[in-house]
A and B are shown apart, each in its own frame.
Chain A
């Protein structure tokens, strides 16, 4: 075979697909929708932060199946105890930082809302004054 006759092969494939009745009725990729993080409002982000700021250093240890599973959990508990002295201070500091961050963001959000209300009020006043100038 010297060169590949792509067209000939494609024709054979088309014929084969037709004879065997193969179809492709797959879901279109364009129909896949992912909630885009950037569509969330600032309030929604703030709510998430208020829920998530406090990190727990120890996750629940899930027991696996059988003796091996129980042994794994036991070993994890021992490891957890031995590194407690190191992990807990870091978690406490991190949570303090997180708490201050979230407090600041909550205050800043309130400050921003207050300023937005002021700006709206000022914009209304400007509109009224502009109209007054126009009518004079």
Chain B
């Protein structure tokens, strides 16, 4: 029996791709014949994968897992697979976030949502990576069993050596950090606003580091750069796509992780911040509260004055910082590699035996 995974794009550093690669290792350990098939494979690759057109003939007892997060031709074709079908649902960023800046991506995501709806009665089982995503599938009319399985994160990778230059440069600098692709749903402008107020009134030495890839031609990124110029913002750094050891270093030097995102299906960076004991301040939206559980400083407002005030309180008051870290460490246990791995194995065996 085969268990294959299908992703639109397999790229190292992308949460969906990383999840697929980690699950592949688990499926291999379970003793099944497995492979990842992708429409696009971007280097560098940690794990071997094949292109979509290499998918072998699947038998009715085989299992195909489609990672659903964006528009792709394979999404609708998946309905015609003759094997047992599972959707691994990561959520699709609503196209409205891209209407103004990138009509192409808006269109891709519109098609993705159409596929989500189309597949509602054509799959056998779903694994949503958050309760928020599970509810989303239910709203699309999914009647099959849907279990929540958080993204599988190999934390061992985070113990690797961090970039020394960054560690040295920011050793005694107050760093506010956010990690995530430069995309309109992540609301980088709100991070900048709150940071500027924080820097102005509370901590002139502070630096805002925005780790995440961008394209110079991207309208949203250009708007952010222009915004920085127009408000005369200082010490806001876009790192762009960087090496893994540099990402590790930024987490190690960060004093606070600030998230103002308005749409997340899971938000791996929150778990990364937990791992590195970086206190989290986050806006209460979509899957963020379910990933954080009871930890982190979750705010219902984005008022820059209030966010800046919170950053100040956490930076200055050790007791708040320590309590946040204690709660985050407790929450982090829920995402341990062994725990999620065991959960996945149990769910897959149950599906194989009972069809659910």
Instruction: Point out residues on A near B: beta carbons under 8 Å.
Output: 1-4, 6, 9-10, 12-14, 16-17, 20, 22-24, 26-27, 29, 32, 34, 36-38
The tally of residues in B whose CB lies under 8 Å from a CB in A reads 31
For A38, give the chain B residue with the smallest CB separation.
Answer: B103
Please report which residues of chain B, range 285-319, place their CB below 8 angstroms from some CB of chain A when the two chains form the complex: 297-299, 303-306, 309-310, 312-313, 319
Task: For A37, list chain B residues within 8 Å (CB).
Answer: 217
A22 to chain B, nearest CB (A): 5
Contact: A13 with B309, CB < 8 Å?
yes
Contact: B323 with A1, CB < 8 Å?
yes
| A3→B327 CA distance, assembly (Å) | 9
| A13→B222 CA distance, assembly (Å) | 33
Task: For B189, list chain A residues within 8 Å (CB).
Answer: 29
Residue-by-residue, is B185-225 near A (CB-CB < 8 Å gives 1, otherwise 0)?
00001000100110001000000000000000101001100
Contact: B227 with A6, CB < 8 Å?
no
| A4→B321 CA distance, assembly (Å) | 10
Of A13, A20, A37, A38, which is in contact with the most chain B CB atoms at under 10 Å from its CB? A13
A15 to chain B, nearest CB (A): 10
A34 to chain B, nearest CB (A): 5
Contact: A17 with B305, CB < 8 Å?
yes
For B187, give the chain A residue with the smallest CB separation.
Answer: A29
Task: For A2, list chain B residues within 8 Å (CB).
Answer: 323
| A17→B168 CA distance, assembly (Å) | 34
Contact: A29 with B227, CB < 8 Å?
yes
11 contacts between A and B (CB under 8 A): A4-B324, A6-B299, A9-B310, A9-B320, A10-B299, A13-B309, A13-B310, A26-B196, A26-B197, A26-B231, A32-B230
Choose from B222, B231, B313, B322 the contact partner of A9 (Cβ within 8 Å). B313
A10 to chain B, nearest CB (A): 7
Instruction: Point out residues on B near A: beta carbons under 8 Å.
Output: 103, 189, 193, 196-197, 201, 217, 219, 222-223, 226-227, 230-231, 297-299, 303-306, 309-310, 312-313, 319-320, 322-324, 327
A42 to chain B, nearest CB (A): 18
Of A6, A23, A37, which is in contact with the most chain B CB atoms at under 10 Å from its CB? A6
| A3→B222 CA distance, assembly (Å) | 41
Choose from B196, B298, B309, B319 the contact partner of A17 (Cβ within 8 Å). B309
Task: For A36, list chain B residues within 8 Å (CB).
Answer: 219
New contact pairs (15) apart from A13-B313, A26-B196, CB-CB < 8 Å: A1-B322, A3-B327, A4-B327, A6-B299, A9-B320, A10-B299, A13-B306, A13-B310, A13-B312, A14-B306, A14-B309, A22-B197, A26-B197, A27-B230, A37-B217
| A29→B299 CA distance, assembly (Å) | 21
Task: For A20, list chain B residues within 8 Å (CB).
Answer: 201
Contact: B103 with A10, CB < 8 Å?
no
Given contacts A22-B201, A24-B304, contact A4 B297 (CB under 8 A): yes
Task: For A27, list chain B residues within 8 Å (CB).
Answer: 227, 230-231
Contact: A32 with B226, CB < 8 Å?
yes
Task: For B319, list chain A residues within 8 Å (CB).
Answer: 1
B211 to chain A, nearest CB (A): 20
B331 to chain A, nearest CB (A): 13
Contact: B320 with A22, CB < 8 Å?
no
Given contacts A4-B323, A9-B320, A38-B103, contact A29 B305 (CB under 8 A): no
